[in-house]
């Protein structure tokens, strides 16, 4: 009887141990990726740099570059955003013609994909993500100006910030690979619910580089008004593109939109890729990134920060 009781006690102890929670050690490594384009004093791309040519800081402190490569002809994931508000109607036909060539140049392999967004008083996904340049070109024909009896033909709304936020969150941010958006606009937002800061944050969290293209030709407004709004829009576009690792271009009589598209394509095809292990931080916390290369005559275009993933 004592032996049987002892056996039951031992068996019960074993069952209790089996029911105790098991402690599991989880090991994870976070890597922050930074894509960079390096230009010389003449605005030409600098090739053949090594990891030792770069200096990287996070939040003002030097940090080791653990991964490095120079890649060319990389697969692309792209969003083309076209401002179709009244202030841009003069340029729409030119944008459509140039964008035909742009899609043909960008989508050169099955892994290259793009989408098309129109924004004015609404943000509309005109063509979902596709590898077909022909599908995107056909959709370009349907970019139209907003209509309605209550709309002013030249002063209707422009949802620039909302367009960047929605494209980053809903359509580009979840896509694999290297992501960028090209925005054709004057940079003047009039009716967005989102702010400039929220637009930048959305693009940074989605790791999307924003390339901005602004027309500098005189439109229908008075010269003093146009110059003031044009300068304000340019500052906005510079802030967005600088923070996300893109660039700002202006269409002029000597710099055509097709030339700009070619430059953007070169930028996106040939980039330096760097990676580092960041210090531990709280989810959602913003960290500043500083990346320099070579001497003072070199300009580095890379994102200026990132948010710790939730």
Domain boundaries of the chain, sorted by first residue: 77-269
pLDDT at 282 over 60: yes
Q: Which residues of 270-286 are buried (b: 16+ CB within 10 A; e: fewer)?
A: bbbebebeeeeeeeeee
Cα distances (Å, whole numbers) of residue 21 to 16, 17, 18, 24, 51:
10, 9, 8, 9, 46
More confident residue, 115 or 229: 115
Task: Classify domain 77-269 by CATH number.
Answer: 3.40.50.410
Supply 48's token pair.
């053949």
User: Can you tell me the mean pLDDT for 49-62?
Assistant: 96
Dist. CA 229–CA 232, nearest whole Å: 5
Provide the 10 A C-beta neighbour count for residue 293: 18
* Strand 77-83, strand 113-119: pairing: parallel
Note the pLDDT of residue 104. 86
In this predicted model, what pLDDT tens digit does every residue of 73-101 receive, in sequence order?
677 899 999 999 887 888 888 888 888 88
**Burial profile 74-98: b = 16 or more Cβ within 10 angstroms, e = fewer:** bebbbbbbbbbbbbbbebbebbeeb
Q: What percent of the chain has pLDDT over 70?
A: 82
Rg (CA), the chain: 25
pTM: 0.83
Query: Region 172-188: what's the mean pLDDT?
Result: 90
Residue in 194, 271, 244, 284 with CA at minimum distance from that of residue 79: 244
Q: How far separated are the first and last CA of the chain, in Å rounded?
A: 59
Tell how strand 248-251 and strand 208-215 pair up. Answer: parallel
Which residues contact residue 227 at a Cβ distance below 8 angstroms, ignoring those fewer than 6 apart?
none
What's the pLDDT score for residue 226?
55
Q: Would you say the C-alpha torsion 69, 73, 79, 83 has a positive or negative sign?
A: positive
For residues 212-223, give the mean pLDDT: 61
| Mean pLDDT, residues 201-229 taken together | 74
């Amino acid at each position: 009887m004592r032996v049987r009781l002892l056996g039951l006690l031992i068996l019960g102890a074993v069952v209790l141990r089996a029911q105790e929670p098991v402690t599991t050690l989880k090991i994870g490594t976070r890597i922050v990726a930074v894509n960079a384009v390096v230009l010389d004093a003449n605005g030409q791309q600098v090739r053949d740099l090594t990891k030792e040519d770069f200096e990287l800081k996070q939040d003002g402190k030097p940090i080791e570059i653990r991964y490095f490569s120079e890649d060319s002809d990389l697969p692309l994931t792209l969003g083309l955003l076209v401002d179709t508000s009244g202030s841009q109607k003069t340029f729409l036909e030119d944008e459509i013609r140039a964008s035909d060539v742009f899609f043909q140049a960008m989508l050169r392999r099955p892994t290259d994909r793009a989408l098309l967004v129109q924004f004015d008083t609404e943000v509309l996904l005109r063509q979902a993500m596709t590898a077909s340049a022909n599908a995107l070109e056909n959709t370009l024909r349907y970019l139209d100006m907003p209509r309605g009896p209550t709309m002013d033909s030249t002063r209707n709304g422009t949802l620039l910030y909302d367009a960047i936020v929605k494209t980053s969150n809903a359509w580009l941010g979840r896509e694999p690979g290297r992501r960028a958006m090209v925005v054709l606009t004057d940079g003047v937002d009039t009716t967005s619910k989102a702010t400039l800061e929220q637009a930048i944050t959305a693009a940074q969290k989605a790791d999307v580089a924003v390339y901005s293209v602004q027309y500098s030709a005189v439109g229908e407004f008075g010269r003093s008004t146009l110059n003031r709004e044009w300068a304000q829009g340019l500052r906005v576009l510079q802030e967005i593109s600088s923070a996300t690792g893109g660039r700002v271009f202006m269409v002029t009589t000597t710099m055509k939109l097709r030339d700009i598209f070619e430059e953007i394509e070169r930028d996106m095809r040939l980039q330096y890729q760097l990676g580092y292990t960041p210090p531990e931080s709280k989810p959602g916390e913003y960290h500043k990134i500083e990346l320099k290369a070579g001497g003072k005559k070199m300009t580095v275009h890379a994102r200026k920060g990132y948010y710790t993933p939730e």
